[in-house]
Amino acid sequence: MANGDGAAAPLMKTAPPKDVTTVSFRADVLTASQRQPVLVDFWAPWCGPCKQLAPALERAVADSNGKVALVKMNIDDHPQIAGQLGIQSIPAVIAFSKGQPVDGFVGALPESQIRGFIERLVGPLEGGATALLAEAEDAAAKGDAAGAAEVYAEILGASPGEPKAVAGLARLQIGAGQLAQAKALLETAPAPAPGKEQDPAIAAAWAALRLAEQASNVGELAPLEQAVAANPDDHQSRFDLAVALSAKGNREAAADHLLEIISRERKWNDEAARKQLLQLFEAWGLMDPATVAARRKLSAIWF
């Protein structure tokens, strides 16, 4: 990797991964992992996903700034170690520390997940998508949707399926009313591993999309506000008003109307207000100020 001015980066960031053999495995992996974690990339020349994984894995390891080492083992030439570790499909990456396997994954994961895997071993990495994500989020917060979209697209160009970039770009599309495009984009996000939950950013973006789809069917604010003012027990109009207010970004008012329904008639429409409120929490994020405030109010009503 070269610096922006063309100067060479430090050697530990440019040296290619070492090829390990059955004979050298003890020295290159078991002994070396006494000093720092060592990742072993089990691959084969015929394996397409292995070729897809390698560049992202090498970039992430480079950003560890020498905290973790990477070696490669061709299982066609050296099948014994892979067999002993029970590896049945490739690419497979096993992390060794203090001479023992401590973690691993199988398949060509997105770069963000690879980085997360390494960060569990050695702490935060430099650079990578994290800095770009922060740049995109900052641009979106300042109202520069076009600038944020451009950065998200850059991230996805380098790491297709990166969950936070997919979610961020989808939210921009939702905000612009491009619901079909947002749905198509979210469908490109990697499926969670068996037994794992969906990435929180993707789940929140899906929730935001569902809310936007709901809002497109409930009509304008004024007639709904008039209906609620005329009859405070018109729960359906109040419910629709909450959905419309949420779509307009008025989170506190949206939550308050749903809380009012719960307060007046908790079981209305199979607890629709409570379920909708939980969907808002998912779309906003569990630590969003509006979520925290509404949860506090909900607890006061419930208990």
Q: Looking at the annotation, which residues are catalytic?
A: 47, 50
Amino acid (1-letter code) at residue 79? P
Angle at 286 between CA 284 and CA 292, to 5 degrees: 95
* Cα dihedral 240→246→251→252 (10° resolution): -10
186-191: long-range contacts at Cβ-Cβ below 8 A with a sequence spacing of 24 or more? Answer: 188/160, 188/161, 189/161, 189/163, 190/109, 190/110, 190/113, 190/161, 190/163
Question: Among 130, 162, 161, 165, which Cα is nearest to 149's?
Answer: 165
Amino acid (1-letter code) at residue 295? R
| The 3-state secondary structure of 124-170, one letter per residue | CCCCHHHHHHHHHHHHHHCCCHHHHHHHHHHHHHHCCCCHHHHHHHH
d(CA 259, CA 298): 7
16 prior amide bond cis, ω within 30: no
Q: Are 273 and 240 in contact (CB under 8 A)?
A: no
Task: For tokens 């059955």, name the residue.
Answer: 22
